[in-house]
A and B are shown apart, each in its own frame.
Chain A
Amino acid sequence: MSEFLVFDGVTKRFGDFVAVRDASFAIEKGEIFALLGPSGCGKTTLLRMLAGFIEPDEGRILIEGEDITRLPPERRPVNTVFQSYALFPHLTIRDNIGFGLKMAKRPKAEIDAEVDRMLDLVDLAEHGDKKPDRISGGQKQRVAIARALVNKPRVLLLDEPLAALDLKLRQRLLVELDGIHDEVGITFLYVTHDQTEAMAISDRIAVMQRGGLEQIGTPAEIYEAPVNSFVAAFIGDTNFLRGKVSEILDAEYSRATVESIGEIRLYNDRPLEMGEDIALSLRPEKIRIETHPPAEEAGLNAIEGTVDDVIYLGSLTRYWVRVGDQRIAIEKQHARYQLDERLPAWKDRVWLSWRADDGCLLTDFAVEDTELLSLPPEGDE
């Protein structure tokens, strides 16, 4: 795999505000690459720089080795699906889809044939002669995709393409979008603030915050091995355990004293030093919750606590368990017929256990990231 699309040290400032800081990464041909982050993280600025609407202050953007940094938008081999769709209200669906081909001065017969093919692809054949204000939001979205794809761009840019739709439609279109990607094989750059969307559709995700790239990896890598507290808290839910290294067991395992929890065993993928401050991300579904002490097992951490909150969600139950000053979130999947089983309930004494390998040692920790964690409902003491 060669480097198909390259951002090389791209920086963009708006006055004193640094929208994108020294972004360097490469996207492979044919993949769906997501830029994920909260609003204002710079992901849309990156997309608009690739589309040509914003010129970077520093750095270069290359597609297959060709520097496109200074090209105007109309001369770039990319097309965009805009968040608001931006369909031309005075043109029919057909003319909207055919707009790019018309700009490229292609013969009319060819345009007609291509537009027909696209209308079929997005399943809108019978709506071709309507104006955009006569079709639904989901249909507009598909027209926007067809209008971009018909030009056979080398990269399709999708700017929050599903944000304006309701949840059900969003899920359906996500599957459709994935299907379209399989069919056309074009590289997608997908900008979103919605981590489920990014996880569902992407081959790789770049998580951004405050103009910087925090981590790039497959959805599983990002979820299972977040590098810092921001990525850990932004993608999915987690528990942060902070402590000091108290014992080095061998090259890969050590012990640490965690506030209000006590001594735990942890896996370290980088060498630790005695007394070093550490932060650990522990996903709620990795923790087992039981009403009796777990059987002794090598490498298993077990602690005792009291159930603070319970939310039953059908396929799973979320617990918040108080251990000293810390509240630990746990997810228990209901793989078996649940009514036959007595679940831990409010105020129960419970035992939590997890394997040392299931925690993830973070390289950076920022206290404010704990605010990204989902909290139980308040006021049911």
Chain B
Amino acid sequence: MGNPRRQPNPERRNEWWTTLPSAGWLLVFFAVPTLLIVVMSFKPAGPYGGFGEGWSLKAWADMAHPSYPAIVWRTVWLSVAATIVCVGLGLPVGFLLGRADEKTRALLLLLVVVPFWTNFLIRVYAWKVLLHPSGYLRETLVGLGIIGENTLLLYNEGAVLLVMVYAYLPFAILPIYASAEKFDFALLDAARDLGASSIRAFWLVFVPGVGRGVLAAVVMVLIPALGSYIIPDIVGGPAGEMVGNKIAQRVFIDRNWPHAAALATLLMIVTLLPVIFAFVQQKRESVPDGSRKGGGKATA
């Protein structure tokens, strides 16, 4: 095999042809609609909903609404917190899954995926029942004296965070597990052998070892978290509102499409930042060890 750069052109052309259908699909059903949203944010609002003729910056000017910075900030910190907790829990679970024997692993993976068999909305509603002021969870906790008589579990940021972690945890576990499965656990023996406690070995060797999985987990949790709508809507109340709820309000209640479009564009920009970061990170990682694919770690 020669230098891949010098490969003849026909192969590259074939590649283009095989990419075309998916590229076309993305263009028609993703790129164009996204662009339409961005364009819509520069239109004036129509008097009876929808949008009007001509161009306007009003929707963007409205972004300065005093309630927005708090909501954007809440959206970002709740999402980041949910991501940190999910990855934090996903790491030990991924570790156990990677170490488990075939049978246990299959069972554990099934348990991770089982919640998906129930409708998402129902599951979030179930949390509402659990956390409800007269729900048995709160009653029990109050009865045990763990929380005060006046503490509410529902309709606050804590409830949103809790349910987000619950909902997105599988998206952190699965990519970390995928990395852990390929991880060479002899490396942990080596770390222990060289004087690292099991906890240090975990942090210094296992976590970097599943770095790609962690990166994927961050992207898989952070992005849907930033766009959360159902969770804050059901368990958040006014105190737990996120950008997603505002967009919904603008579309369904105010019928102010340009305003909703501007909010959506703003959210998209916030969302793109971690993706760009992850992309750059992966590029940088794959440059020095580009030859990894062929022969990674030595096999025993």
Task: List residues of chain A with CB under 8 Å of any chain B CB.
Answer: 51-53, 72-74, 78-80, 82-90, 99-100, 103-104, 131, 133-134, 137, 140, 147-148, 151, 164
Contacts and interface: CB of A to CB of B under 8 A. Distances in A.
B283 interface: no
Contacts of B205: 88
Contacts of A164: 298, 300
Nearest to B195: A103
A131 B297 contact: no
Interface in B163-190: 184, 186-187, 189-190
16 contacts: A52-B192, A72-B192, A73-B192, A74-B193, A83-B300, A86-B184, A86-B190, A88-B190, A88-B205, A89-B209, A90-B209, A90-B211, A100-B194, A134-B289, A147-B194, A151-B195
Contacts of A72: 192, 197-198
Interface in B262-300: 288-289, 291-292, 295-300
Contacts of A51: 189, 193
Contacts of A140: 298
A78 B190 CA distance: 12
B189 A53 contact: yes
Contact of A133 (B189, B209, B295, B299): B295
B56 to A, nearest CB: 52
A152 B12 CA distance: 55
Given A86-B186, A131-B288, A133-B289, A74 B296 contact: no
Nearest to A153: B193
A162 to B, nearest CB: 13
Given A86-B190, A89-B296, A100 B195 contact: yes
A134 B287 CA distance: 13
Interface string B29-70: 000000000000000000000000000000000000000000
Closest A-B pairs by Cβ, 6 of them: A103-B195, A100-B194, A86-B190, A73-B192, A90-B208, A84-B300
Contacts of A134: 289, 291
Given A88-B187, A133-B297, A148-B193, 19 more contacts: A51-B193, A52-B193, A53-B189, A72-B192, A72-B197, A74-B196, A74-B197, A82-B189, A84-B186, A84-B298, A86-B184, A86-B186, A89-B297, A100-B195, A133-B291, A133-B295, A134-B289, A151-B194, A151-B195
Contact of B289 (A80, A131, A151): A131
Contacts of A137: 298
Contacts of B194: 74, 79, 99-100, 103, 147-148, 151
B248 interface: no
A89 B186 CA distance: 12
Nearest to A73: B192
A158 to B, nearest CB: 12
A140 B296 CA distance: 13
B289 A79 contact: no
B275 to A, nearest CB: 23
Nearest to B185: A86
Contacts of A131: 288-289
Looking at B193, B205, B291, B300, the one whose CB has the most chain A CB atoms below 10 A away is B193
Contacts of A52: 192-193
A82 B190 CA distance: 8
Contacts of B190: 80, 82, 86-88
A140 B190 CA distance: 14
B152 interface: no
B162 interface: no
B200 interface: yes
A42 B246 CA distance: 67
Contact of A73 (B189, B209, B299): B189
Contacts of A87: 190
Contacts of B208: 88, 90
B211 A80 contact: no
A103 B201 CA distance: 10
Interface string B203-216: 00100110100000
Nearest to A97: B194
A85 B298 contact: yes
Contacts of B295: 133
Contact of B193 (A79, A85, A90, A104): A79
B191 interface: yes
Nearest to B187: A86
Contacts of A90: 208-209, 211
Interface in B1-34: none
Contacts of B298: 84-85, 137, 140, 164
